[in-house]
């Protein structure tokens, strides 16, 4: 009995103390407000940004390899030993300049015999031409000498081209695949020559992408922080069956020859440019059963506005309809607001 009495007294004392503390805290007048009540009276804190027109661009990005605007790889016409490599990478060459020389003693070519036959046929041709002009030989004799001379000359020049591999056009040596003394088989690549004052690259696009790309569109690539501008020069009319893609060819200016044949670069093609667009971060766009929407502030309240987006580029949306310049877009606090809810704009 005594223990129960003591517990009852202690409970009464605790309750009395709690009531006293409560009455002191409120002064008998103030009511404890919930977070929802505070927000309802003062508004949900949000940050805003005024919508303004700005430039919006959309690029398509492709990785590709650069090559000279004109390139050719020369291969060996016969097998044999390489006598000399006459040019190195970076050398400028002119059309028909010898770059690689094969051994002239190749028994399969009989180059010296062909050269001797050509020189003898040329002497006979010139001698009979002089006699014909003087009326001292017949036309038939001259015609026979001329035919033999032309055949001998053609054979000699064909063998000469097999031994002295020449540059097919004026340009720069960009690859040399062989060395002095190498023994090679026929149809082996020997060197590559290119015209590199302008460069080109072929990019491969899917059906949607190729529909956006047009001839003459601007393009660019960056190497070492330097930008190189180019244009789309050609577009395929049909799909490549092996790659299952369409190609577009892009040409670049190459000042200072900084772009090199064989470089892998990231090429960006500008497929859309609107200098007066409404653009917002895509993370602000939400979606419900009625479509995509954002929140703006109007008369101190959050207003739900449905929008139509045009194109997207990275983290940004171009807005086609639903927003106008001057409106106050809620950029922070969107997770706590709803349509018609009072908001408090903070800095």
Range among 34-48, 62-76, 125-139 rated most confident? 62-76
User: Is residue 255 classed as helix, strand or coil in its secondary structure?
Assistant: helix
Number of other residues whose CB lies within 10 A of the CB of residue 30: 8
Q: What percent of the chain has pLDDT over 70?
A: 88
CA distances (Å), origin 254, targets 225, 257, 311: 15, 5, 32
* Range 318-330 average pLDDT: 94
Q: Residue 57, Cα to own-chain centre: how many angstroms?
A: 16
Given a cut of 60, whether residue 8 has pLDDT beyond it is no
* Range 86-112 average pLDDT: 91
Token output for 112: 């010296």
pLDDT-derived band at 22, boundaries 50, 70, 90? very low
Terminus-to-terminus CA distance in the chain, angstroms?
66
* C-alpha–C-alpha distance, residues 289 and 285, integer Å: 14
Q: Report, in angstroms and rounded to the nearest whole number, the Rg of the chain calculated over CA atoms.
A: 42
The answer, as to whether pTM is greater than 0.75, is no
CA distances (Å), origin 27, targets 17, 32, 308, 328: 15, 12, 55, 42
The dihedral region occupied by 189, where left means phi > 0, alpha psi between -120 and 50, and beta the remainder, is: beta
pLDDT-derived band at 224, boundaries 50, 70, 90? confident
The pLDDT mean for the chain works out to 87
In the chain, how many H helices and how many E strands? 5, 20
Q: Which helix (H) or strand (E) holds 106?
A: none
* C-alpha–C-alpha distance, residues 186 and 133, integer Å: 46
Nearest by Cα to 63 from 227, 337, 263, 343: 263
pLDDT in tens, 260-309: 999 999 999 999 999 999 999 989 999 999 999 999 999 999 999 999 98
Domains identified in the chain and CATH numbers: 43-56+275-345 (2.40.420.20), 60-65+194-272 (2.40.30.170), 77-187 (1.10.287.470)
Q: What is the pLDDT of residue 256?
A: 87
- Dihedral sign from CA coordinates of 37, 40, 41, 47: positive
CA trace torsion 16, 18, 23, 24 (10° rounding): 110
Q: Residue 44, Cα to own-chain centre: how many angstroms?
A: 46
The DSSP annotation for 284-303 comes to G-EEETTEEEEEEEETTEEE
Q: What is the pLDDT of residue 85?
A: 96
């Amino acid at each position: 009995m005594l223990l129960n009495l003591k517990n009852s007294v202690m409970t009464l004392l605790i309750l009395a103390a709690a009531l006293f503390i409560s009455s002191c805290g409120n002064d008998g007048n103030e009511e404890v407000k919930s977070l929802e009540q505070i927000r309802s009276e003062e508004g949900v804190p949000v940050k805003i940004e005024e919508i303004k027109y700005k430039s919006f661009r959309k690029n398509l990005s492709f990785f590709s390899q650069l090559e000279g605007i004109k390139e050719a790889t020369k291969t060996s016409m016969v097998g044999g030993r390489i006598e000399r490599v006459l040019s190195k990478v970076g050398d400028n060459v002119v059309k028909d300049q010898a770059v690689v020389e094969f051994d002239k003693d190749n028994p399969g070519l009989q180059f010296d015999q062909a050269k001797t036959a050509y020189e003898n046929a040329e002497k006979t041709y010139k001698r009979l031409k002089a006699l014909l002009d003087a009326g001292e030989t017949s036309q038939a004799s001259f015609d026979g000498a001329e035919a033999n001379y032309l055949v001998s000359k053609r054979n000699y020049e064909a063998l000469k081209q097999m031994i002295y591999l020449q540059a097919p056009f004026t340009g720069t040596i960009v690859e040399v695949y062989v060395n002095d003394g190498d023994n090679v088989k026929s149809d082996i690549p020997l060197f590559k020559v290119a015209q590199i004052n302008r460069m080109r690259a072929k990019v491969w696009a899917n059906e949607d992408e190729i529909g956006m790309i047009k001839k003459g569109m601007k393009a660019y690539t960056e190497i070492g922080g330097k930008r190189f501008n180019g244009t789309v020069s050609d577009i395929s009319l049909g799909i490549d069956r092996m790659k299952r893609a369409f190609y577009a060819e892009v040409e670049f200016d190459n000042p200072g020859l900084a772009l090199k044949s064989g470089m892998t670069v990231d090429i960006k093609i500008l497929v859309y440019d609107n200098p007066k667009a409404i653009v917002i971060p895509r993370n602000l766009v939400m979606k419900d059963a009625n479509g995509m929407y954002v929140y703006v502030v109007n008369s101190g309240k959050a207003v739900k506005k449905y929008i139509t987006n045009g194109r997207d580029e990275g983290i940004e949306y171009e807005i086609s309809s639903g927003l106008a310049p001057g409106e106050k877009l809620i950029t922070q606090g969107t997770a706590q607001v709803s349509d018609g809810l009072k908001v408090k704009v903070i800095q």
